[in-house]
Amino acid sequence: MPKPIAPLFQELLLARGVIKDQVYHALRQAILDGRLSAGSKIPSSRALAEMMAISRNSVIAGFDRLMDEGYLVTRK
């Protein structure tokens, strides 16, 4: 049974174009719209890639761009 997909990430299924850019734009827009606020947790790159059936490298590239621009921070 597939895992349920959060509405935020359903946008990725409908978008066209380069996957890493879709990840970047969907998350960036969610941050700007206030759907993701400071301190919000998002799925790991592995979990998101599995949930969306996309390459983990694409998710990592999208996350990296968001981190470079200051939209995401990682906690270890």
Kindly list the structural domains of the chain, giving each domain's residue range(s) and its CATH number in brackets, ordered by start. 10-68 (1.10.10)
DSSP 34: T
This prediction's pTM: 0.80
> 19-33 and 56-68 helices cross at what angle (nearest 10)?
50
Residue partners of 44: CB distance under 8 A and separation at least 6: none
pLDDT surpassing 80 at residue 59: yes
Neighbour-count burial of 62, counting CB atoms closer than 10 A to its CB (0-12 exposed, 13-18 middle, 19+ buried): buried
**To the nearest whole number, what is the mean pLDDT of the chain?**
84
- Per DSSP, helices labelled H in 15-76 are 19-33, 45-52, 56-68
The stretch 17-29 carries a mean pLDDT of: 89
Residue partners of 4: CB distance under 8 A and separation at least 6: none
